[in-house]
A and B are shown apart, each in its own frame.
Chain A
Amino acid sequence: MEVKEQDPVTGRETTGHEWNGIKELDTPVPRGILLFLIVTHIWAVAWWFFAPTWPLGTTYTKGLLGIDQRTTVEERVVEGQQARQDWMARIESEPYDQILADENLMQIVRSSGRQLFGDNCAACHGRDARGRANYPDLTDGDWIWGSGPEAIEQTMRVGVNTEHPESRIGQMPAFGRDGMLERDQVRAVAAYVYSLTHPEFSTPENVERIEAGQQVFAETCSACHGETGEGSAEAGAPNLTDNYWLYGGDLDTIIATVHGGRQGHMPTWDERLTNAEIRMLSLYVHDLGNRQP
């Protein structure tokens, strides 16, 4: 069976085997390949000498460099912490006013706070902190729970409507669904709220409905939203007379809000971020609102 042939193209001999027409040349392994093989092996064996590699029962060869990824990581973490220590400690302990007045420190808050905000808050409030339906804009200078870094810090620590024992509670009752108000009353009070920001809505044909709504508002809503509808940070009830809306200021959305109620959920960060991080973010968010015209 074994018939060796000469291949006309390469001039090599075949091995003499044949399978359904397939033959093989007896070409020796090219020198380059052997050389390359040796190089990779030398490289590998060198690593074995320098780095931890071979298991030996309950231990392993430690390598001449004495490196181990766990200690490397620990060292790097300590180095990083040391490099951040000075300004971190200041952010953690100095009063807010003092930090706000220190332009250099605020520069750090802006650059480092951006990443913290991106990783923890952007999912809800947006990368630019401008919010969207159901999540408040943090740059508009309009605050439900009070302005200033202290109030923001408190909101972050305890959250809104959370399990935290001191959680801020902001419950807008479901007046329509739970039968506290009649259908007509819901529509009337919504029309009144709408007219607060849309004076042109107070046309003669609407006036009756709006006045009926005002009545309802005084009886039912003012406890939380205030006599004039300007809101109360204590109840977490937003100002209804400005153009900043958490859920929406068009008539249909207001009707939906009054009918179904609203209980926004803002998580607590007490256990998830360090003191310094919470303070840095409070300053960062406050600063964003301030930079807004």
Chain B
Amino acid sequence: MIDKLTYSERQSASFILVAVAVVGLLMAAFGNSNQLGVHGVIVMIFAAALLYPVLSAIYAPEPVEDREASYYDDPIKVGIVLAMAWAIFGMFMGVWVAAQLAWPNLAFDAAWSTFGRLRPTHTSGIIFGFGGNALIATSFHVVQRTSRARLAGQVSPWFVLFGYNLFCVLAVSGYFIGVTQSKEYAEAEWYADLWLVVVWVTYFILYLRTLARRKEPHIYVANWYFMAFILVVAMLHIVNNLAIPIAWSSAKSYTIWPGVQDAMVQWWYGHNAVAFFLTAGFLGMLYYYLPVRAQRPIFSYRLSILSFWGIVFFYMWAGSHHLHYTALPHWVQTLGMTFSVMLLVPSWASAGNALLTLNGAWDRVRSDATLRFMMAAAVFYGLSTFEGSFLAIRPVNALSHYTDWTVGHVHAGALGWVALITFGSIYTLVPTLWKRERMYSAALIEWHFWLAIAGTLIYIFAMWNSGIIQGLMWRTYTGENTLAYSFVDSLVAMYPYYIARAFGGLLFLIGAAIGCYNIWMTVKAVPSTVPATPDAPETAAAVPGE
């Protein structure tokens, strides 16, 4: 991989890595024995681990071929491997915390393994580790193919990929040692947040510059979504994480947002993380890999436009539905609720557009588990967006808020939509990327598919039951107008559902492990092939937009 870089590119890579290591050293020195110091050491190790291969090959022969005549696939391959590694880690942590809820002794009486610390390792591991790496990898793939142009940089794709993973490592390792901002899905502390800004801006510029090189007159829908994802996540991340560290030598910071405004900013961020990270980005994936796999044209270009702008516009307003019946003023809640309901149609339009694209390919959905992954993802996307709008209605929310119903809803989206579309996309992508005839085993993809579906259904049915029972128990009154149940009573009622949920999660994890094995064997054991249609950028100097 390093042999594809020129000598001067290798030099700049080394320079960047040395600079990162120096920052790590400073953190370690100033943070001395506190958590910042620990993170300084981690940063140094991370940089050194990458510096070693770069330096060992720094005088290796330079590439002779014309790099612009081929797509830049190495970072994508590494991104896929990292995504799968994070998937296993994140899902394992998920099963563990789920099991802790049923059997609290599984925390083994240590501080690092308490529920409060492990839970964000699960959410960040999955959302940022698995989801984020999959998004970066597929976005690099999609933007090159749909622009017929190579990525606009040799070192920057690596910088984005590894820089992003450094952020993930800092975030997750921090939770174990008690570093947190206590903002859901934004737990990482100020220095990690600053670093992510640098990485993310590089990502955005790289993406824009690549698009600017395109040899196609139009920008494909998938790229609209990827752009919305990158741009809005930058905005959300910066605003929500505005904070002042208590000292430059400390890992701890305080947010600049006071009281209920903090809550509002947090859930504006939180909900739009769902919208632009977990929805827009993955719709980008769907819009590329689904039609490619189904070999069908997109059902309706006009519907794509309607749903894209609908989603981008309405989501922005919906965050306050996370704060119904709180100190947040009533009028903000009404706004959040009504915009959440108006959001439903554009969401369903996307799901419908995907499913109608399959018209003429349903026989293939039946026989090809990879395509079925994407079909099921679109169905779950439709289901969970309906559920989301429904839960955003205040009187419904009065029952569902703070219950497991919310958790079930999130997982209908996370397992059913995000993970399934990712697996479908990866199974489509891996053989093309490594130039293999096919995936190693179609039977194993079937296994993965059914384990994932069974796990998801068990999970969400358990949480629907448990959530609704919880909600009802909390609002049942005796004839004397006192509460009929104590909180502990509701916990006892949850117990069987917590066991079922952990079991559903375990099935999903086993499926992902099978997927890893299948990918590994595809790369190792399946004979390579030359693609029927040439898979290379257009090198003739065509002008973008004709």
Contact = CB atoms under 8 A, between A and B. Distances in A.
A118 B349 contact: no
A7 B292 CA distance: 16
B297 A36 contact: no
B335 interface: yes
B487 interface: yes
Main SS class of interface, A: mixed
Given A17-B217, A112-B480, A53 B338 contact: yes
Contact of B146 (A22, A25, A37, A45): A22
A55 B331 contact: yes
Given A21-B292, A29-B300, A40-B345, A47 B489 contact: no
Nearest to B333: A69
A1 B342 contact: no
Interface in A207-235: none
Place the interface of chain B in its size category: 35 or more
Given A29-B349, A30-B300, 10 more contacts: A18-B216, A19-B146, A23-B291, A24-B300, A27-B300, A33-B349, A44-B341, A47-B334, A69-B325, A111-B484
A63 B483 CA distance: 32
B485 A118 contact: yes
Contacts of B485: 115, 118
A206 B287 CA distance: 85
Contacts, number: 161
A84 interface: yes
Given A24-B298, A108-B480, A118 B217 contact: no
Interface in A181-224: none
Contacts of B304: 24
B145 A20 contact: yes
B352 interface: yes
B488 A118 contact: yes
Contact of B345 (A37, A60, A119, A122): A37
A21 B355 CA distance: 19
Interface stretch (A8-16, A152-160, A169-177, A258-266): A8-16
Interface of B: 145-146, 148, 216-218, 220-221, 288, 291-292, 295-304, 306, 325, 329-331, 333-335, 337-339, 341-342, 344-345, 348-349, 352, 359-360, 478-489, 492, 533, 546
Closest 7 CB pairs of A and B: A118-B486, A9-B360, A44-B338, A27-B300, A23-B297, A19-B146, A52-B331
A89 to B, nearest CB: 13
Contacts of A55: 331
A14 B344 CA distance: 27
A95 interface: no
Among A19, A21, A26, find the residue whose CB has the most chain B CB atoms closer than 10 A: A19
Given A19-B220, A54-B335, A69-B333, A25 B300 contact: yes
B342 A41 contact: yes
A61 interface: yes
B519 to A, nearest CB: 22
A36 B148 contact: no
A80 B146 CA distance: 63
Contacts of A17: 216-218, 220, 301
A101 interface: no
Nearest to B145: A20
A61 B331 contact: yes
23 contacts: A7-B297, A9-B360, A17-B216, A20-B148, A23-B291, A23-B298, A24-B221, A24-B298, A25-B297, A25-B298, A29-B302, A29-B306, A36-B345, A40-B342, A40-B345, A47-B334, A60-B331, A69-B333, A83-B481, A84-B482, A118-B485, A119-B486, A122-B488
A25 B299 contact: yes
B348 to A, nearest CB: 8
A26 B300 contact: yes
B487 A22 contact: no
A54 B479 CA distance: 40
Contact of B533 (A21, A122, A127): A21
B220 A22 contact: yes
B475 to A, nearest CB: 12
A165 interface: no
A68 interface: yes
Given A44-B339, A112-B482, A118-B485, A60 B329 contact: yes
A51 B297 contact: no
B302 A69 contact: no
B483 A33 contact: no
Contact of A68 (B291, B330, B360, B492): B330
A226 B217 CA distance: 98
A118 B352 CA distance: 48
A117 B329 CA distance: 34
B486 A40 contact: no
A274 B146 CA distance: 69
A40 B314 CA distance: 12
Contacts of A123: 488
A130 interface: no
Contact of B342 (A15, A44, A52, A80): A44
A26 B546 contact: no
Contacts of B295: 21
Nearest to A60: B331
A174 to B, nearest CB: 25
A88 to B, nearest CB: 9
A1 B215 CA distance: 11
A186 B148 CA distance: 87
Nearest to B217: A1
A119 B331 contact: no
A192 B33 CA distance: 53
B378 to A, nearest CB: 15
A19 B483 contact: no
A63 B333 CA distance: 13
A177 B450 CA distance: 62
B297 A80 contact: no
Nearest to A33: B349
A247 interface: no
A51 B300 contact: no
A9 B486 contact: no
Nearest to A28: B302
Contacts of B344: 40
A19 B331 contact: no
Contacts of A54: 331, 335
Given A22-B146, A119-B487, A28 B546 contact: no
B328 to A, nearest CB: 9
Among A24, A61, A117, find the residue whose CB has the most chain B CB atoms closer than 10 A: A24
B330 A22 contact: no
Contacts of B349: 29, 33
Contact of B301 (A15, A19, A61): A15
A217 to B, nearest CB: 37
Contact of A10 (B146, B333, B359, B533): B359
A19 B482 contact: no
A15 B479 CA distance: 66
Interface string A112-155: 10111111001100010000000000000000000000000000
Contact of A115 (B303, B306, B482): B482
Contacts of A37: 345
A60 to B, nearest CB: 4
B210 to A, nearest CB: 14
